[in-house]
Amino acid sequence: MAVGIVQGFFLPGVEGFFNKFAVGTTNIPIAFGLILMMYRPIANVHYDELGDFFRNTKVFGKSLFQICLRLTVVLISQLFSKTKNLRPVPLIFFE
């Protein structure tokens, strides 16, 4: 982060350089940096425990219900949206 602040302070044209790599509203270097930052937590998934997850019908059922509920809410919100853009859906957690 400090490197970015120093670059912005001492190299005023660096913002325009990085904006060249934007696709729509997504800045590709920032997206790439976020993926690199999140790789470690994502890679910590214990794949050997996935079988236990699928065998536990209570947890699997709740997860499946959450996914279906979110998709339903998104589809309904798109039907009634004037802009037809995908709106964020609040996270729903069951314990």
pLDDT tens sequence across 16-52: 888 888 888 888 888 888 888 887 777 777 878 888 8
Residues 56 and 73 both lie in one domain: yes
The DSSP letter of residue 91 is: -
Residues 65 and 35 both lie in one domain: no
- Mean pLDDT of the region 50-63: 88
Residues 33 and 63 both lie in one domain: no
Residues 52 and 95 both lie in one domain: yes
Predicted TM-score (pTM) above 0.75: no
pLDDT band at 58 (very low <50, low <70, confident <90, very high): very high
Range of the domain at 84: 48-95
Residues 75 and 56 both lie in one domain: yes
**Helix, strand, coil % (nearest 5) of the chain?**
65, 5, 30
Residues 32 and 54 both lie in one domain: no
What is the residue-averaged pLDDT of the chain?
Answer: 80
Q: How many domains does the chain fold into?
A: 2
